[in-house]
């Protein structure tokens, strides 16, 4: 799914929560990417993967809830996979506020997050594995990312869909002028 999610992304791009850089090789060669993450260990792995990336890549140690070293209205795109589901709700709101600040007016965002399924058998498995997922990955299925995006004064959600069953929620939108 990574190549599909990144296929149309162009211009100045911020990948928030770049992690180990698993997305880096799928960016278009014309992209100018800034990847940020709070984990030095993850960034170390991402730097190795960045060598094989087709695009110009800058990786920085930065907090997505503050983005002190990132200028306002700088990016055409904000892209993130599974970052908000590892953040407590109060921090998600701060990160989403920053997404609105760093996107250019008319800039777009695309976030992929984990959520609890409405399918009873999938939900039962998720509930069984939830403590493990939280302990190992820091992720939770009960985050309110979509709600916070819908409450944003700068960002407008334009579509939502699922990539895998009803567990991988894809949220897309635009920064309003």
Contact 137, 72 (CB under 8 A): no
pTM of the predicted structure, to 2 decimals: 0.92
**What pLDDT is stored for residue 139 in this prediction?**
81
Whole-number pLDDT of residue 140: 81
Which pLDDT score, from 0 to 100, does residue 165 have?
84
Token pair 């506020």 is at which residue? 97
Tokens, residue 170: 């894809």
Dump pLDDT digits (tens) for 15-61: 999 999 999 999 999 999 999 999 999 999 999 999 999 999 999 99
In terms of DSSP bridges, do strands 75-81 and 12-16 run parallel, antiparallel, or are they unpaired? parallel
The pLDDT, as a whole number, for residue 128 is 92
- Listed as ranges, residues in the chain with pLDDT below 50 are none
Confidence at residue 42, expressed as pLDDT on a 0 to 100 scale = 92
Query: Do residues 77 and 9 make contact, with C-beta atoms less than 8 angstroms apart?
Result: yes
How far is it, in rounded angstroms, from Cα 69 to Cα 47?
A: 19
| 3-state SS, residue 114 | strand
Distance CA 157, CA 111 (A): 11
Structural contact between residues 33 and 56, judged by C-beta atoms closer than 8 angstroms: yes
């Amino acid at each position: 799914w990574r190549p599909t999610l990144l296929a149309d992304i162009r211009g100045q791009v911020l990948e928030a929560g770049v992690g180990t850089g698993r997305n880096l090789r799928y960016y278009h060669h014309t992209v100018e990417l800034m990847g940020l993450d709070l984990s030095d260990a993850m960034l170390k792995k991402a730097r190795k993967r960045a060598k094989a990336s087709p695009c110009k890549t800058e990786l920085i140690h930065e907090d997505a809830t503050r983005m002190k070293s990132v200028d306002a209205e700088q990016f055409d795109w904000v892209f993130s996979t599974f970052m908000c589901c590892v953040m407590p709700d109060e921090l998600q709101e701060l990160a989403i506020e920053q997404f609105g600040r760093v996107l250019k007016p008319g800039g777009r965002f695309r976030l992929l997050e984990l959520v609890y399924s409405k399918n009873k058998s999938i939900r039962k498995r998720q509930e069984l594995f939830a403590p493990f997922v939280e302990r190992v990955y820091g992720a939770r299925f009960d985050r309110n990312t979509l709600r916070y995006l819908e409450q944003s004064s700068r960002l407008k959600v334009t579509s939502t869909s699922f990539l895998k069953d009803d567990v991988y929620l894809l949220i897309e939108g635009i920064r309003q002028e």
